[in-house]
Amino acid sequence: MQGKRVEMEPVEGRPPKTIAVSDEGSRTYHYGLAEWNQKGMTAVYTFLYAD
């Protein structure tokens, strides 16, 4: 999923702290903000786990 862009709804006017992204199969990948200090509506996330 590296380099993939995903549109998410803001939470309280900011990017969500965690996101879940499903692949074409049945796996879901969970990501958390790479940096707690984000500017604007663009955020960088880092992989947490898959289920």
> Which residues on neighbouring strands pair with residue 20, listed in sequence order?
30
- How many whole angstroms separate alpha carbon 15 and alpha carbon 40? 8
Residues 6+ apart with CB under 8 A from 31: 18, 19, 20, 21, 45, 46, 47, 48
pLDDT tens digits for the chain (51 residues)? 677 788 888 888 888 999 999 888 889 999 999 988 777 788 889 999 999
Domain encompassing residue 17: 1-51
How many distinct structural domains can be found in the chain?
1
What per-residue confidence (pLDDT) applies to 2?
73
Q: What are phi and psi of 22, to 5 degrees?
A: -90, 145
